[in-house]
């Protein structure tokens, strides 16, 4: 019987094919290094290189097609956004014109969006009086007589490009207290009234006491209180310091701090005060101690009930007009 052994030519071809595969793999691996990677370009389908749109515009790519930039360019002959003129004709339900069957411009017809949906699209359509405002569906357009701080006004119905200058040199939008403001960007003749806010946490639950929040000066005492919608209540009585009211005052409240005290009523009806135990720190960060003024600060600590049970209050903050 004749044995069949691989011929030398077959073995040679096998070795050569294997070597070719290995060489190809080595060659491919040697190409994939940091020096040979393709950099950002105008055909990688990624928004980069300062491009205006993907792979067009910016400093190195070809200009974007004005018929595909999502903008209305009437100077280029467009009738509406990316249509008309040298662009494709506009559809009747997207042409900036009130067509037959539409209840508003480009809305309220078969296949059209509902008119209220157009109040945020940056276009003058629907029933709008100006872009995205006015009419029956959108928010009222800003004006200098609406009694609100809106548009580019720096005070209520004053300042900005369209309204008369404000009565005072103030800016209700700059994040500082200036002019006749009662506090930062609120109160006074031009800004929105300052809000009454008080909040705190107890047993990991945060409470907002704005449902009934007030600050009042009675005689020489400052009284602050707040009630949450869930019924939790907190209140403080702070006596005027010997040197008078000032920013940065820190008041410790405990059984020996009479007539100053803190009190807390939990949602289960439990009653706690600093007069019965505990220690709470009450701080005044800002105060204008007159009726119509404003007071801002923080508080945290503990109080006890008549049986010696303790409740802890943390992260307390308040900001209130003074009645």
Burial status of residue 83 (CB atoms within 10 A of its CB: 0-12, 13-18, 19 or more): middle
Per-residue model confidence as pLDDT tens digits over 241-255: 999 999 999 999 999
The answer, yes or no, to whether residue 70 has pLDDT greater than 90, is: no
Per-residue model confidence as pLDDT tens digits over 128-163: 998 899 999 998 888 888 888 888 888 888 888 888
pLDDT level of residue 37 (50, 70, 90 thresholds): low
The conformational region for residue 147 under phi > 0 = left, psi -120 to 50 = alpha, else beta, is left
Stretch among 1-5, 291-295, 312-316 having the lowest mean pLDDT: 1-5
Per-residue model confidence as pLDDT tens digits over 267-277: 999 999 999 99
Whether residue 296 contacts residue 318, with contact meaning beta carbons closer than 8 Å, is answered with: yes
In DSSP terms, which residues pair with 80 in a beta bridge? 83
Burial status of residue 39 (CB atoms within 10 A of its CB: 0-12, 13-18, 19 or more): exposed
Is pTM beyond 0.85 here? no
């Amino acid at each position: 019987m004749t044995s069949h052994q691989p011929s030398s030519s077959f073995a040679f071809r096998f070795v050569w094919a294997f070597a070719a595969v290995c060489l190809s793999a080595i060659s491919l691996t040697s190409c994939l290094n940091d020096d040979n990677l393709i950099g950002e370009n105008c055909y990688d389908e990624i928004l980069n290189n300062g491009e205006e749109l993907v792979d067009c515009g910016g400093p190195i790519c070809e200009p974007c097609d004005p018929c595909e930039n999502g903008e209305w360019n009437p100077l280029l002959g467009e009738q509406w956004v990316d249509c008309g003129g040298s662009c494709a004709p506009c559809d009747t339900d997207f042409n900036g014109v009130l067509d037959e069957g539409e209840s508003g411009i480009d809305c309220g017809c078969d296949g059209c969006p509902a008119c209220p949906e157009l109040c945020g699209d940056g276009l003058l359509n629907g029933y709008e009086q100006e872009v995205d405002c006015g009419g029956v569906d959108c928010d009222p357009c800003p004006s200098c007589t609406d009694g609100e701080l809106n548009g580019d006004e720096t005070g209520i119905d004053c300042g900005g490009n369209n309204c008369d200058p404000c009565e005072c040199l103030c800016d209700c939008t700059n994040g500082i207290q200036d002019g006749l403001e009662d506090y930062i960007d609120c109160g006074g003749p031009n800004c929105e009234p300052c809000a009454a806010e008080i909040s705190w946490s107890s047993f990991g639950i945060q409470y907002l006491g704005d449902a009934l929040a007030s600050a009042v000066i009675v005689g020489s005492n400052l009284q602050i209180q707040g009630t949450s919608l869930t019924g939790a209540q907190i209140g403080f009585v702070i006596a005027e310091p010997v040197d008078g009211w000032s920013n940065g005052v820190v008041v410790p409240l405990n059984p020996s701090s009479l007539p100053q005290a803190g009190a807390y009523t939990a949602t289960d009806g439990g009653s706690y005060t600093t007069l019965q135990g505990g220690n709470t720190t009450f701080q005044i960060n800002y105060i204008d101690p007159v009726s119509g003024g404003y007071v801002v600060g923080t508080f945290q600590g503990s109080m006890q009930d008549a049986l010696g049970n303790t409740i802890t209050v943390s992260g307390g903050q308040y900001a209130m007009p003074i009645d």
